[in-house]
Each structure stands twice: as C-alpha cells, then as structure tokens.
Structure 1
Amino acid sequence: MLKGFKDFILRGNVIDLAVAVVIGTAFTAIVTAVVNSIITPLVSLFFKADAAGNFGPQLTSLYGDQVTFPIGDLISAIISFLSVALVVYFVFVLPMNTFKAHVEARKGTAAEEPAEEPAAATEAELLVEIRDLLAQNARS
C-alpha cells in the first residue's frame, strides 16, 4: 500500500504539479498587489470613483438606499487572472514546450511524415500494361 503511494508521489507529474501550485500561489499574491496598488488607481483616474472597486451602476432600492454593483472588483479579478495566465504561459509553458521539441528532435522521435506511397494504377493503365506484356511475349 505504501509502495504504491510512494510510486505515485515520485512520479514526475505530481512533483511538477506541486511546484506549479506553489509558484502560482506566490505569483498570484504579487499580481494581486500590483493590480490593487497600481492598476486600480490608474483605472480610477478615468472613471468617477474613489476606487475601481466602487465603480459600477448605482440603483435605488425599494427603501431609498443607494445600491452599487461593484463591477470594478470583477474587472480587477479579470486583470489579475489574465496577468497570471500570460506570465505562466510565457515563463513556464512556452519554454518547456520548446525544450521538449528540441529533445524530441535530438532523439529522432519527432513525428516524421510517412513516405508517400505510389498511387494505385487505374484499370485502364493495368490493361495497357497487360496488353504490352502479351505483345512482348508473342514476339519472343
């Protein structure tokens, strides 16, 4: 039972996944701080709001209170997600794919196109070939 667990943990994919989760979590904190401290105030400069989190439509409730739908928080979350996704792709995924392609090319296991097979002869071509062979045999 423990041997199977050990084999599962020592498999490369599990360790890669664990490292990716740790790096992603740490990087998400950095991106969130950048978005909240730099990008959100920049967005607030263009819209009438004290912070982008307060940006959104304001409606009056049945009791006369103002209700704001803070879509600025949603915009900040989308910017954070796209920032993390772009950095993870360009820093980790793209170089890893390039590295794997180079390794496969060196091993010679890169997908090679199969040799093109000659096209099958048509019925007319076969009949012409048979006629020529029969004529040649008749002469000899």
Structure 2
Amino acid sequence: MKGFRDFILRGNVIDLAVAVVIGAAFTAIVNSIVTAVINPAIGALFQAESLNEALPVTIPTTSGGEATMYFGAIIGAAINFLIVAAVVYFVLVLPVNKLRERQAAKKGISEEEAGPTETQLLAEIRDLLASKQ
C-alpha cells in the first residue's frame, strides 16, 4: 500500500488527472463551437444544413438500397482537431515555453550551459556502446 500511496501522491499523477478533466471539459466547449458555429457556416458554402451533411456521396448497396457517406463530417472533425491543437499550443505550450525561457534567463543559464540535450546524450551512449563492441 505504501508504494501505491507514493504513486498517487506524486505530483505528476495529480497533474495528469487534472489535465484529463480540464481537457475533457475544454473539448466539450470546442465541440460546441465547431458544431454550432463553424459547421453551419461551412455547410452553407455547400448548401447543407451543417458540415456533417455536406458533400454527400451515395453508393448502391448489394441489397438494392443506397448508402450515403458524408465527407463533410470528416472535414468537420479535421477542423475540430486543428482548433483544439491551435488552442493547446497558443494557450498552454507557448506560454509555458516562454515562462521557462524567462526563468532560465533570470538564473543566468544559457542554452549551452543548460547541459546536453537528449539527442546528445543518446549519441554519447551509442558511441560508448559501439566502442565496447
């Protein structure tokens, strides 16, 4: 039980749980915006009620009926993804990177003094392993 308690109380697990909950709530907001605003606007370009009904392709089935595929729904999903990715980048990633740069500048650490990168460390490990063989 002690190991489990240590695992749960570790900071990154709690941060991850918060991120998942916030991400789910944020996704609902973005989906609403895309469904209620963007899809109808783009759907109007294709003379459809919404993007989910735009660009229909009807194909015959083997039973004699027809099946309709709506490629507008794929476009809507791609737009939704791009909006989520843009917001995550501009609201989360970019500010955190700027904050890290400022903190490093306050400490007087330049990129060269910060230490080797992951790629450099992996290259050193590769070279060491190669020299042992």
State TM-score, norm by structure 2: 0.71
8 A contact 1:54–1:68 mirrored in 2: no
Which sits farther off after the overlay, 100-109 or 20-29?
100-109
Per-residue CA distance 1:61-99 (angstroms, 9 max, x = gap) = 234322111222222221111111111111111111111
8 A contact 1:31–1:80 mirrored in 2: yes
Matched, 1:93 2:93: yes
Q: Which residue matches 1:10?
A: 9
Change (3 A) 1:103 1:9: farther
Identical pairs, percent: 50
Structure with the larger RCO, 1 or 2 (CA within 8 Å, 6+ apart): 1
Structure 2 unpaired stretches of 5+: 114-133
Q: After TM superposition, give the deviation of residue 111 of structure 1 in Å.
A: 2.4
Q: After TM superposition, give the deviation of residue 103 of structure 1 in Å.
A: 1.3
**Structure 1 vs Structure 2 CA RMSD:** 2.0
Q: Which residue matches 2:59?
A: 59
8 A contact 2:43–2:53 mirrored in 1: no
Distance in 1, matches of 2:23 and 2:8, equals: 20
Residues 1-140 of structure 1 aligned to structure 2 (within 5 Å): 1-2=1-2, 4-55=3-54, 56-112=56-112
Distance in 1, matches of 2:47 and 2:92, equals: 39
8 A contact 1:60–1:67 mirrored in 2: yes
Tell which structure's C-alpha radius of gyration is larger.
Answer: 1
**AA aligned opposite 2:21:** V
Distance in 1, matches of 2:29 and 2:23, equals: 10
DSSP-derived class of the 2:48 partner = coil
Q: Which residue matches 1:129?
A: none
Distance in 1, matches of 2:25 and 2:63, equals: 44
Distance in 1, matches of 2:6 and 2:104, equals: 26
8 A contact 1:54–1:70 mirrored in 2: yes
Distance in 1, matches of 2:59 and 2:47, equals: 16
Distance in 1, matches of 2:81 and 2:49, equals: 23
State TM-score, norm by structure 1: 0.68
Q: Which residue matches 1:124?
A: none
